Each structure stands twice: as structure tokens, then as C-alpha cells.
Structure 1
């Protein structure tokens, strides 16, 4: 898998911010220009690439994205693992296992603060299905539109998309023994959620 220093999804945003920053610096104010350049550097950090080694193992299911587990519920015979993705996390969504990726639902919506109750009702959402797990992405305040994801065969650790900010709900059959708990920091392609 080819790793880049900056993800291609961020090129447009970064270019616009730096062009505006240069314009502000030349024609308006040095202070505003400097703030624009600092904002641009922060956006470069958000869209940074990842040079990590993926621990492929067909007997385990890996974390799909860098995040922090905020809750784990048991609902209708399934574990629901709630993972908060922040701006400082790495935003690459990776395949948790070898499987056929299926898009179950893609609903356009708002970008409210993901901590509010209304976010689960009105924010943009996409639901992906792999073998026996389901991933529900609820976009947050800073996330742009979630790009349409094509259904395809994926290998564990493959890049699927990016997800900047929001909540990821991982649904797992209750028959599986979870190897994570509330408060754990997940690392995509490295943290093992459960064994098959």
C-alpha cells in the first residue's frame, strides 16, 4: 500500500487556505496572514498520511479507525462500541477484516456537534457492512460530506475512505469476546477488537 505524506482528499482544502493566507498577508494584515498560515499547517496535520505497519491476521478483526472508545452497549444480541474520532486522530478508515464491503445506508444531513442527541437524528451518516460487523459513521461538526464508497472486496488494512470528525458505532455479535474496553485508544490496522 502506498503511503503519502498528505492525503489527496486534503489537497484542495490546504491549497485554498494557503492561497487565502498569502492574500491576507500581502494585502490585508501580517497578523491575519500569519493566522491563516497557522490554520493551514493545522489542516495539513489533519490530512496527514499514515506510515504504519498493518498487522494482518485472518483470525482477528482490527480497529477500522483511530479513535477513543466512549461507550459499549449490549443491544438486541449485539455489542455496540461507540468510538469518538477527534481532529487530532489519524482519519484513514481501514478494512477491519478480509470481506466484501457493502454499503447498507448513506443518508445526507447536517454537521451538528456529534455529542448532541440531535446529531444522531440529523447528521450525515453512512453504514458499512463487513462479514459479521457493521460500522455506522455519524459525521461531526468539522466533517465535510462523506464520499460515496463503492462496494468491493477488501483485504484487512486496505484504505476505504477518510473520516475527519464524528462518531463511529461498531456493531459486533454478542457471541464474540471483545478485547477492548471503555476508554481504550484504538489504532486502525493495529488494535484487535475481537478474535473470530
Structure 2
């Protein structure tokens, strides 16, 4: 099976590889360092296929649940991505992108409470939103959708370079009783359901035809 990578990551890895080859003229250690960096970059930018959960609001990222709190009249669930996690972000629910807003900010550790003040990009859909938050080392947020685009549950919507956080602000009808995760739980983008929505409940009680 051919392994998939984010295209931008392949370019970064190629730069490190070429630098390592050129450095080999002067030092084998520098060449080895270049190859190691190239391999690390590819590993970081891996983009595996996922079997998307058929129901529920799925996790927008791989990592651990670091935030569960009220945001106004909504529930907000945040997932912290370490440097070893897959950093491709996926849509928690299907819908059409209404707004894409980038907000400049600080670069504090993404696992801290202060990371709410970090640089972030918010993708607003009809009844929910996804907030991609940069960390202290992750200073590049790359959304891959634009206003007017329609996505399906679990579809790729962007990626963030290195350690960072991805939050989902759930639809207004979702309560804490609908959550399927707790802080500290390990989750996977597209695969792990964070909560079940009103639509999911209706589908569960409909008689099969």
C-alpha cells in the first residue's frame, strides 16, 4: 500500500533530504542529520486513510481530549495533538462552510489553558464550528476548505504544522449527556465519535424499511 502524505510535507522533506546530500561533501554526520530530519518530517505529515464513524460528531483531530467546556450556549470539545500525532484535520459533521476566519495571537503551548489566546482559524458551518489553534512550535495553520465548500463527515479540512489543538463547537442541541468522551481520552480524527446529535437519535429510532 502506498503511504499518503500531505503534499506540503513532501516538499519540506525533500528540502531536508537535498540539504543532507549536499552536506555529505563536508560531513557524513551532517548528511545523516539531513536524512533523519527528512524522515521525521515525512512521519509528521503522514495522512492515513480513515474509516469514518457512520454517526455522531467525530473528532477533528488525532490526540487526547484536553478541553470540555461550555462556550456560551454550546459545548466545546478540544483535542490536543502532540508532535507524534497525525495532524490532518477532519470535519466533525457534514455541512457547508459559511465563514473562514483567521485570528492572530500568541504561540503558547497548545495543551495549556492560555492557548485559547493563540493564533487560530475558525471554520464556521451551519450549526457547528471547528477552531484550529496553533501551538508554541506550530505556527502554520493550513485550512483546505473555503467559504461555500460542502464537506462530508470525516472529510479532510486542513492541517496544522507540529504540536497544536483542534476544537469543535458542537450544535446547540448537544448536551453533556450526549458526549461519548471525557478529558484525557485518546481519539482519532474521523473515527472517534465525540457526541451524538439529535439527527443521530432520530435515525436510531426510525424503523428499518
TM-score with structure 1 setting the length: 0.84
Task: Tell me what 1:18 maps to.
Answer: 17
Question: 1:161 and 2:162 equivalent?
Answer: no
| CA displacement, residues 89-132 of structure 1 (integer Å, 9 cap, x when unaligned) | 111111111211233421245544335666533x3210112332
Partner of 1:96: 92
| 1:81 paired residue among 77, 81, 95 | 77
The answer to whether the Cα contact below 8 Å between 1:93 and 1:188 also exists between their aligned partners in 2 is yes
CA–CA separation in structure 2 for the residues paired with 1:109 and 1:73: 21
TM-score (norm 2): 0.80
Equivalent of 1:143, from 123, 133, 138?
Answer: 138
SS in 1 for 2:4: coil
How many residue pairs get aligned? The number is 190
Q: Any conservation in 1 of the 2:75–2:174 contact (CA below 8 Å)?
A: no
Paired with 2:191 and 2:18, the residues of 1 have a C-alpha distance of: 37
Once the two structures are superposed, the pairs formed by residues 3-82 of structure 1 within 5 Å of their partners are 5-27=4-26, 29-57=27-55, 60-82=56-78
RMSD (Å), alpha carbons: 2.3
Measured in 2, the distance between the counterparts of 1:175 and 1:96 equals: 13
CA distance in 2, matches of 1:192, 1:119: 24
Structure 1 runs not aligned, ≥5 long: none
- Cα shift at 1:35: 1.6
Q: Is the 8 A contact 1:86 1:166 kept in 2?
A: yes
Counterparts of 2:66 and 2:73, CA distance in 1: 20
Residue 75 of structure 1: how far off its partner (Å): 3.9
Q: State the partner residue of 2:101.
A: 105
Aligned residue for 1:147, secondary structure, equals strand
CA distance in 2, matches of 1:56, 1:136: 22
Choose 111-120 or 69-78, whichever is displaced more: 111-120
SS state at 1:18 partner = helix
Structure 2 SS opposite 1:19: helix
Query: What's the offset of the Cα at 1:45?
Result: 0.3
Q: Which has more strand, going by share of residues? A: 1
- Measured in 2, the distance between the counterparts of 1:75 and 1:111 equals 22
